[in-house]
Amino acid sequence: MATAAEPAPPLQPMAPRPFRVVRRRRETADTWTLELEPVEGAPLDFLPGQFTMLYAFGIGEVPISICGERGGPLVQTVRAVGAVTEAICASKPGSVLGVRGPFGRGWPVEEALGLDVVVVAGGIGLPPLRPALYECLKRRQEYGDVVLLYGSRTPADLVFRREVERWRSRFDVEVDVTVDRGEDGWRGNVGVVPKLIASARFDPTAALAMICGPEIMMRFAAEALLDRGLPAERIWVSMERDMKCGLGWCGHCQLGPTLICRDGPVYRWDEIEPLMEVREL
């Protein structure tokens, strides 16, 4: 048994750490961004692209990508699609949620140093890419051209709209946004996001791409990047199949020989492409 003179034993990896909701913002009709801070102890350190297991006490937990900036509060954008995510989205400031993690392999922001960076996001795929964008913009002089290509089903489904507009106003970032279906007042592009790749400003011989979104969108985006001449080993995607433990113990997220929570969720395209049509083995 630990005494008062001894350090407290580390939390077990399956034990959620309590975090308090300090801010809550609605992104779309069913999606909310929560900012959380630890009830006690140090803030959560993480790598861009990693995720947590976010726990609504008494209901359950779900894997959620971290979408904030390193060194700040833990930021998570959640779409309400079931009992657990609905409870998380309904958590008002002052509520306490459980957090396990961070888990997984992150985006190759260091490997991209000196290269053009192409970020391709579809729908709720922008939040997992946001920390990588923050890193590139914070160290802007260490990268070549930075391109964000973002698409959603409708204008109402776009997340981080004000921030995307701020990025668009910068002279050192190319931002192009599209929707599958326009609405009254929409003056932007209409069409799927992979269609934006052909005209994006980057050098395929010296670029690295990061993609997140529905699997079919990632496949078409990767094919469009390959058509531009970008090698498969410099195309990275984030997989979001059914993760339960975050530690590679339960096997729910098995994809061929890989466990997404342990070996991913970020993979090189040449690693994951042969497995993307395999649900489980």
Summarised one tens digit per residue, pLDDT across range 120-150 is 999 999 999 999 999 999 999 999 999 999 9
Domain interval for residue 220: 117-230
Residue 22 DSSP one-character state: E
Full-prediction pTM beyond 0.85? yes
Domain boundary among 75, 103, 131: 103
Q: Which residues of the chain have pLDDT under 50?
A: 1-5, 8-10, 280-281
Residues 98 and 121 in one domain: no
Number of domains in the chain: 2
φ, ψ of residue 86 in degrees (nearest 5) = -65, -40
223 inside domain: yes
Alpha helices in 98-160 (DSSP H): 126-138
Residues 155 and 94 in one domain: no
State the pLDDT at residue 278. 56
**Nearest-angstrom CA–CA distance, 37 and 18:** 9
Q: Which CATH number fits the domain that encloses residue 177?
A: 3.40.50.80
State the pLDDT at residue 276. 79
Residues 131 and 226 in one domain: yes
Domain boundary among 188, 212, 230: 230
Domain boundary among 230, 250, 272: 230
164 CB neighbour count, 10 Å cutoff? 17
246 inside domain: no
Residues 133 and 224 in one domain: yes
Residues 97 and 132 in one domain: no
Residues 41 and 77 in one domain: yes
**Nearest-angstrom CA–CA distance, 124 and 104:** 19
State the pLDDT at residue 279. 53
In contact, 99 and 36? CB cutoff 8 Å: yes
250 inside domain: no
Residues 49 and 153 in one domain: no
212 inside domain: yes
State the pLDDT at residue 11. 54
Residue 126 has which token pair?
A: 């922008």
Alpha helices in 99-160 (DSSP H): 126-138
Of the candidates 258, 257, 259, 256, the residue with the CA atom closest to the CA atom of residue 243: 259
